[in-house]
Amino acid sequence: MKKVLIVDDSLISRRMIRQLVSNFNFDIEEAKNGREALEKIHSSNFDIIFLDLLMPDMDGIEVLKNLNQSKRTEKVVVISADIQQTTKARCMELGAVAFLNKPPKEEEFVNVIKQLI
């Protein structure tokens, strides 16, 4: 079974993403900020990470930088409210495999996951 991690400071966002992910048979874990996410990532093997950008106590960009540096192979899907092209380009440059606008549309979201598995 594939393991996924949902990283978002907002409870409601985590729930929303969890709901979308529940269409698949995944083992789901959650983290409330970048720091917590990195702890979980480095002690376990995830296949996909759903990552928010704006979070207190280490934001998503920092998480991407860290994963980049430690040469991790998890596939990162950024889900952010900051929909500027410049932001998206920065995330892709840091190794994200997809960028979804918040709130994610179900169809788009499912398409991205299908491509990843």
Partner 1 sequence: MVFTNIHLDIFQEMINIGVGRAANLLNSLSGKHVSLSVPSIKLFDYKNLINELESISKSDNLSCVLLIFSGEISGSSCLIFPTEQASKLVLAFTGIQTDDLDFDEIQAETLSEIGNIVLNSLVGSIANNFGISLNYSIPLYVTGNLNQVLSSEISSNQNGLILYARTHFKIESLDIEGDFLFLCKLESVPFIIQ
Q: Of the two residues 75 and 102, which places its CB atom closer to partner 1 in the complex?
A: 102
Binding of partner 1 at residue 80 (CB under 8 A)? yes
Residues between 14 and 53 with contacts to partner 1, criterion CB under 8 A: none
Q: Of the two residues 32 and 75, which places its CB atom closer to partner 1 in the complex?
A: 32
DSSP secondary structure, 28-78, as one string: EEEESSHHHHHHHHHHS--SEEEE-S--SSS-HHHHHHHHHHTT---EEEE
Q: Of the two residues 41 and 98, which places its CB atom closer to partner 1 in the complex?
A: 98
